[in-house]
Structure 1
Amino acid sequence: MAPLVQSSQPWVEKYRPKQVKDVAQQDEVVRVLTNTLETSNCPHMLFYGPPGTGKTTTALAICRQLFGPELYKDRVLELNASDERGISVVRTKIKNFAAFAVASKPRQGSYPCPPFKVIILDEADSMTEDAQNALRRTMETYSKVTRFFFICNYISRIIEPLASRCAKFRFKPLSEDIMITRVQHICQEEGLALEPEALSTLSSISQGDLRRAITYLQSAARLFGSSITSKDLISVSGEVVNSFFAACRSGNFDLANKEVNNVIAEGYPVSQMFSQLFEIVVGADDVSDEQKARICRKLGEADKRLVDGSDEYLQLLDVASSTIRAICNMQEEFS
């Protein structure tokens, strides 16, 4: 069957819940935040937990329900702290936005329109400690007119003075039942036929990350059309890693760099790529044990740096260059 004509809009955005009550399997978080919306008494907030469990969705939904479409652009600043995580960003962009007072607006329909702004800092655990310390002073100075929503995977990497000023919300990994229900809804809306075994496979390869599951599903629909099998999904999940490894084995750094740029541009999780690359390398029959050891050691080092907040692009590029050296240099030694 010919592939469906797909919209250019990512399904992750198309099917992102618009209201807090629609966020899946975070009952305690939803209950508390629903009360917050009713009173409009909104504290600084810290959302933490595994990727793809609804943290960013919840933060965006709160802002939409507080301000509505007319005030949203003026009242909400969204920043990805992994890209803009230095102290200069805190001193300029964040401080300038936080400093402006906003006029009090009467309630408009179902939107409370409270007299403050919101700054959403996604991947806040990637911010440097100096930037977090500077941010603490900004929070104290402008607390009457600005609220901060921090989103992170690792709460331990948020300094205590920041964390203690926030209401904390832990997001749990999504169960297989919840993921299957959401995926089935998308399949129905998009006219896809997914085999029962494929549903289980999708849940397994996405490891509780609903965002990843939806991305795999859309990629499979683009490549294989409306009827999708387990084999199709496995192919999609490993395609990027296989292309990356093939580019490294070619010995062409420019080709490997192109694959790295593609991974970053498409938003694939680099930490998961390292896990898949490890399995490919260990299972490769034409790679020597010494080559495998060198590559796996670099994967471990790069993964540790990611946990410590390093840039994904640089770490993936470092793995690429090390893999090229491990494979090509040793082949030259024995040729």
Structure 2
Amino acid sequence: MLKEEIWIEKYRPKKLDDIVGQTEVIKRLKSYVQSRNLPHLLFSGPPGVGKTAAAISVARELFGETWVNNFTELNASDERGIDVVRNKIKNFARTSPLGDAWFKIIFLDEADALTQDAQSALRRTMEKYTGSCRFILSCNYSSKIIEPIQSRCAVYRFKPISSNAIEERMGHIAREEGITLTDDGLEAIRYVAEGDMRRAINALQAAAMLDKTVTMDAIYKTTATARPEEVAELVKFGLEGNFAKARAKLDYLLIEQGLSGEDITGQIFRAIRDMTIPDRLKVDLIDRIGEIDFRMAEGANERIQLEALIAYFIRYGANNK
């Protein structure tokens, strides 16, 4: 077991052409590599869509064998104060690039975790060391990056990975690892991943450790995810006014499967979004789901809130039969 390689590292893209699902972004990044120059860059988008892989691939293709010496990666969620800008970033930025490189690259991951003071200091550092250093910042929410930094960067927005791209990549990994991925197992991976390639690869590896044949059951068990049809049943029982069955299904998801309240509300939201019910009903139910999710995020008792959600489904269903 200890010798088992982590697949997300083993199959991490090594060059820009290996990154899937971001055709337009990759096309523009390749033009920078071809011109041997680079502006400051800001990558934004959800987790697991290729932001870090793109930054490292740009450095690899620009600098060749000397890319390790001319590239540094810092995670702003580990050190988010002004000291990391004043010390680590400045010390690296003020040194000259090695080899035939014209500049060095500082990759600042999760830059939206930096404090306002740290971002203000970073803005000045980006100006001062432009001649010898380029910055690539990645974040989940570009709105959390101050405007002066955004205006100094070329902003690229990464979108969630499409189902077809995930399907193709999972098939490639399954063939490389000698495992059998069933059709329902692949469908389960697409559901669990939600456009996150990293989550998809982790789900596949976790299931493959149990059996060389990866099925839907294995995916849902190893990822602690409820089957979509079970969540749909919970909603259906509620709208039909059957509180006992809805509560029993909730008990099963919370106790037997060990799901958290936020996991369940997230899957209820997805189930309602995909249901063939009137739009007005969807709007009212999603509005209440949002309220319950906010209450739990603020620290409310998840059991009480989830049962209150079921009660709302029952009352709403009774009034709108």
TM-score interval, smaller chain: 0.7 to 0.9
Superposition deviation, residue 8 in structure 1: 3.1
Counterpart contact for 2:46–2:160, Cα < 8 Å: yes
1:76 aligns with 71
CA contact (8 A) 1:75 1:117 kept: yes
- 1:256-275 alignment, distance < 5 Å: 275=262
Aligned to 1:89: 84
Partner residue, 2:181:
194
How many aligned positions are there? 258
For 1:38 and 1:21, locate their aligned partners in 2 and report how far apart those are by CA, in whole Å: 14
Cα-to-partner distance string for 1:284-328 (whole Å, 9 max, x where unaligned) = xxxxxxxxxxx9666323xxxxxxxxxxxxxxxxx6xx86999xx
Tell whether the 8 Å contact from 2:296 to 2:302 is kept in structure 1 after alignment. no
CA distance in 1, matches of 2:81, 2:261: 26
Flag as ranges the 4+ runs of structure 1 deviating above 4 A. 277-281, 295-298, 322-326
Q: Which residue of 2 aligns with 1:237?
A: 223
Deviations 1:103-128 (A, max 9, x none): 5x34xxxxxxx221111111111111
Corresponding position of 2:12: 16
Partners of 1:177 and 1:324 lie apart in 2 by 35
Distance 2:175 2:293 in 1: 41
What is the aligned partner in structure 2 of residue 227 from structure 1? 213
Task: Return the match for 1:130 from 92, 107, 117.
Answer: 117
- Once residues 67 and 274 of structure 1 are traced to their aligned partners in structure 2, the CA distance between those partners, rounded to angstroms, is 47
1:63 aligns to 2:59 (yes or no): yes
What secondary structure, in the 3-state scheme, does the structure 2 residue paired with 1:119 have?
A: strand
SS in 2 for 1:118: strand
Q: Which protein is bigger by CA-based radius of gyration? A: 2
Gaps spanning 5+ residues in structure 2: where? 226-253, 269-291, 305-321
User: How far is the alpha carbon of 1:274 from its aligned partner?
Assistant: 6.6
Percent identity of the aligned residues? 43
**1:155-234 aligned within 5 A:** 155-222=142-209, 224-234=210-220
Separation of aligned partners in 2, 1:172 and 1:297: 25
For CA contacts below 8 A with separation 6 or more, give which structure has more relative contact order: 1
For the residues of structure 2 that align with 1:126 and 1:180, how far apart are their CA atoms?
32
Which of 300, 303, 306 is equivalent to 2:297? 300
Question: Residue 182 of structure 1: CA displacement?
Answer: 0.2
**SS of residue in 2 equivalent to 1:16:** coil
* 3-state DSSP of counterpart to 1:58: helix
Question: 1:316 — aligned with what?
Answer: none
Question: 2 CA distance for matches of 1:324 and 1:184?
Answer: 38
Cα shift at 1:277: 5.6
Of 89, 97, 103, 1:102 maps to: 97
Calculate the TM-score normalised by the size of structure 2. 0.72
Tell me how far 1:16 sits from its aligned partner: 1.0
The residue aligned with 1:52 is: 48
State the TM-score, normalizing by the size of structure 1: 0.69
Cα shift readout 1:47-97 (whole Å, capped 9, x = no counterpart)? 11121111111001111111223x222211101111121111111111111
SS of the residue corresponding to residue 149 of structure 1 reads: strand
Structure 1 residue 42 corresponds to structure 2 residue 38: yes
Query: What secondary structure sits across from 1:238 in the alignment?
Result: coil
Task: Give me the whole-angstrom Cα distance separating, in 2, the residues matched to 1:160 and 1:64.
Answer: 29
Pair 1:151–1:203, CA change in 2 (3 A) = same
CA gap 1:279/1:207 in 2 versus in 1, 3 angstroms? closer
Structure 2 CA distance, aligned partners of 1:179 and 1:10?
18
How far has the Cα of 1:102 moved from its partner?
A: 2.4
Give 5+ residue unaligned stretches, structure 1: 107-113, 240-244, 250-271, 282-294, 302-318, 327-335
1:324 and 1:214 map into 2 onto residues whose CA distance is 30
More displaced 10-residue stretch of structure 1: 7-16 or 86-95: 7-16
SS in structure 2 at match of 1:164: helix
Question: Partner amino acid for 2:70?
Answer: R
